Amino acid sequence: MVDAMIEFRDVSKRYGTLVANDHLSLSIRRGELMTLLGPSGCGKTTALRCLTGMNHPDEGRIFLDGKDVTDVPTHQRELGMVFQNFALFPHMTVADNVGFPLMIRNLPKEERTKLVTEALRLVRLEGYAAHYPRQLSGGQQQRVGLARALVYHPKVLLLDEPLSNLDAKLREEMRFEIKEVVTRLEITAMYVTHDQAEALALSDRVAIMNRGRLQQLGTPEEIYESPNSRFVAEFIGLSNFLDGRVSGVRGATMTVAASGLAIQTPVLPGVTSGQKVLLFLRPNEIELLPAGATSDANIFPAKVEKTTYLGDTIDYRLVFGEGADLRVQTDARHRYAAGEAVRVRLPRVRSWVVAD
Amino acid sequence: MTLLRAYLTGLRHGWFVLGYTLCVCLTLLITAPFLMITLRSVGKGWFGRLWLPPQLTWEWYRWAIEVGNIPEVMKNTLIIGAIAVIVSTIIGIFAGWAFGRRQMPGKELVMAVILLPRMIPPITYALGVAKIFYTLELVDTHLGVALAHVSVCAPYAILVLSATFEGLDERVLEAASVCGANTIKRFFYVVLPLIMPGILASMIFSFTHSYNEFTLTLLTYGPNTVTLPVRTYLAVGDGYWEITSAMAVIMVVPSLVILAIIQRRAKPEKLVGGFKGV
C-alpha cells in the first residue's frame, strides 16, 4: 500500500514458547484511526511495543511513513503516546509535562510556551498549567497525557488502553473527546483496547486480533454486520449460535436443519447439501410475536424461560426447536412473561461453513 | 449497661494513663544522660552529693577545643563522613538499580552478605578490617577509615535506594523515551529527580552512621585520623570528666541538626519509597 503511515510487515514476536505475534501484517493509512482490538493475551500490546521500539520483533519489519524503523531506538521514532496509567512525570507541573518533548528537542522558550498553551487549549486544560499531576482527576491527567503526546505534532499517535483507568461515565465522554481531537488534527492514530464499544465508537477501521494473528480487519460496520468467524461475532456484540446441516439449496437461499427446525438463510458460495454450518443470530435482530401469529418461513414457536428488564430493552432467554437456547433483546413495548408461549421471527440469519 | 460502659471507659482511661506515664518515664530515661552530660560540661566544683553544680562555666569547652584539638578532629570526622557518604551513595545507586529494577539471580544471598557487617559483633568484623588495612597501608588515612565506614554505610544506602528504584514506574520511563529522551536525558530529567528523595535519605543514613561509628574507627585510626567518637573515648581515659562531657555535647550538635532536618523537611515514607507514578 502506497499511503501506509504505519506498516507491520510479517512481524513475529515470541516470548519463550509463547507466540505473541504470529506473522502479523497490517497497514494503517495516513490520517486513519485504527483500533487493535482483542482479549488480553491476543498480541495487541506486543504489536504496540514493537511499534514503539520497546520490543524488537524476532522476524519481520516495521515501517513508519515509508521508512523502516525496526532498528531505530524508541526516542528517535517521533511518536506520540498515551498510556493506560497516564505515565505523567509526577515531579513536573502540567506545563512541564506537556512541554517535555519540546524541551528534549531544544525548542526555544517562546515557541515552547506557545505550543504548550496551544496543546492545553486543545484538551481544555488552560487553567491547569501550574498544577501537579497528583492534583488532577483521572480524566484531567489523561487529557494532560494526550496533550503531551500531541504537542510536538508527531507523525502518529498511539493510545494504549487510554480509558481503562477511568470510570464508566468519564470513559464515554473521553471517547468522544479523543475522537474529536484526532479528527481535527487529521493525525494517524493506533488505538489499542479490549473494549469493543470503544473500538466501534472511535475507529475508522478495526483490526481484531486473536492469538497473535489478525482475525478480521474492517470498518466497525463490516466487523459488526459480517463477522468472519465465531470468535469475532462473540467478541463484538451479543450473539446466538446454532449448529446445523444444509438440507437443501434453492437459488439464493438454502435451508438449514438445526435443532429440528428448517431455517432459511442466504446461500453460502459453493455450499452443498449435508454440509455442516454454524448459524449466527444477533439478539436484537430477532422479533417476538404472540403465540397465535401466522406461520411463515423462519417463524418458529418458542417458550420464554426468563426475562430481564434492562430499562431501554428487555432481555429474553427462550427455548425453541429441540431445546436450543435463544437470547432475544427487544424494546419494552410489548412484554412477555416467563413461561409464556411465543413465536420468534428470524429475519436475518448469517452462517459459516464449519469443518466436519 | 451504663455501669459496664463506665467501667470500660474507665479501663480505657486507665490504660491511657498507664501508657502515657510509661512514655514520660521513657522520655526521662532517654533525656537524663543528655541532661547529665550537658550539666557536667558547664558545671564547676560539682563534687560529692550536690544535686546541681554550684557554679557555671564555659571553661571546659575552651579546654576541649584547645587541648582536645576539637576543630582538627571535627575536620577529620567530616572529611571521613563526606567520603563515606559519596562512596556509599554511588554504590547504592548502582546496586539499588540492580536490586530494584532487575531480576537478579541470588539476590537474597547478596543481600544477606551485604548486611553481614551489621549483624556480626562489630569488633569481630573490625579486627578483620584492621588486619587487611595494615597490610594495604590504609590505616591512618582518611580514605582508609572512610572505606571501613562504607562497609556499614553502603548496605543502608543499597536498602534505601533499591526501595526507591522499585517504586519507580517503568511506564513513566517509557513515556520519556517515546517523548524523545535518550538514555542520558532520561536519567537526568526523569530518573534522577524521581530518586532524589531516596538519594538524600541514603546520604543522611550514611552520614549519621559514619559520624557515629566507633568500633571500626578505633581499629583503623591513627594520629592523623582521630574522629570525634574516638577523641571523646580517649578523653575518658585521661580522666577529665568535665572536658569529656564538653566534647560529648559538641559531638551531639550535628546529630541534632540532622534530626531536625529529617523531622522538618522529610517524610520517612517519601524518603524510602520515592514517588509513585500517581
Percent of chain A with pLDDT over 90: 58
Tracing cell 563526606 back to the chain, one arrives at: B82
- CATH 3.40.50.300 range(s) for chain A read 4-235
pLDDT of residue B276 exceeding 60, the answer is no
Region B110-133: mean pLDDT is 85
In this structure, what DSSP letter does residue A293 have?
P
pLDDT at residue B48 tops 70:
no
Contact A214/A26 with Cβ under 8 angstroms?
yes
Q: What percent of chain B has pLDDT over 90?
A: 31
Give tens-digit pLDDT for A138-162: 999 999 999 999 998 998 999 999 9
Residues of B in contact with A105 (CB under 8 A): 180
Give the lowest-confidence range in A64-68, A186-190, B43-47, B241-245: B43-47
- pLDDT per residue as tens digits for the range B147-189: 999 988 998 899 899 889 988 888 999 999 999 999 999 999 9
Per-residue pLDDT at B123 exceeds 80? yes
Question: Which of A55, A89, A112, A135 would best serve as a mutation to test chain B binding (most B beta carbons within 10 A)?
Answer: A89
CATH code of the domain made up of A240-353:
2.40.50.140
Best mutation target among A104, A131, A150 (most B Cβ atoms within 10 Å) is A104
Band (pLDDT 50/70/90 cuts) for residue B118 is confident
Inter-chain residue contact B181 with A104, CB threshold 8 Å: yes
Confidence of residue B274 (pLDDT cuts 50, 70, 90): very low
- Tens digits of per-residue pLDDT, B197-214? 899 989 998 999 999 999
- Sequence spans of domains, chain B: 2-44+53-57, 66-273
Chain B residues 123-162 with CB within 8 Å of chain A: none
Contacts of A78 in chain B (CB under 8 A): 180
- Which of A95-99, A122-126, A266-270, B269-273 is most confident? A95-99
Helix (H) / strand (E) containing A209: strand A205-210
Q: Which residues contact A330 (CB under 8 A, 6 or more apart)?
A: A284, A286, A287, A288, A313, A314, A316
- On the question of pLDDT at A351 being above 90, the answer is no
Average of per-residue pLDDT across A329-348: 86
Element (H, E) at B59: helix B59-66
Spatial separation of the C-alpha atoms in residues B133 and B225, rounded to whole Å: 14
Mean pLDDT on A291-295: 78
- Pick from A223, A217, A265, A229: nearest CA to A244: A265
Query: pLDDT value at position A269?
Result: 86
Residue pLDDT, tens place only, B220-249: 898 888 999 999 898 888 888 888 889 989
What are the pLDDT digits (tens) for A30-41?
999 999 999 988
pLDDT of residue B109: 85
- pLDDT on residue B237: 85
How many CB atoms are closer than 10 A to CB B274? 26
Question: Is A148 in Cβ contact with B180 (below 8 Å)?
Answer: no
For residues A350 and A264, give the distance between their C-alpha atoms in angstroms, rounded to a whole number: 10
Nearest to A119 by CA among A161, A148, A89: A148
* A294 has pLDDT over 80: no
Q: B235: Cβ–Cβ under 8 A, 6 or more apart, which residues?
A: B64, B68, B243, B244, B247
| Residue spans in chain A of domains classed CATH 2.40.50.140 | 240-353
Residue with cell 504505519: A6
CATH 3.60.15.10 fits A4-235, yes or no: no
CA distance B244 to chain A (A): 47
State which residue of chain A sits closest to B180, comparing Cα positions. Answer: A75
- Nearest CB partner across the interface for B172, out of A78, A84, A87: A87
Binning pLDDT at 50, 70 and 90, where does residue B105 land? confident
pLDDT of B273 over the 50 cut: no
Q: How confident is the model at residue A73 (pLDDT cuts 50, 70, 90)?
A: very high
Q: pTM of the entire structure?
A: 0.78
Distance in angstroms (rounded) separating the CA atoms of residues B68 and B76: 13
Percent residues over pLDDT 70 in chain A: 99
Report pLDDT digits (tens) over A241-264. Answer: 999 999 988 888 899 999 888 898
The CATH number that domain B66-273 falls under is: 1.10.3720.10
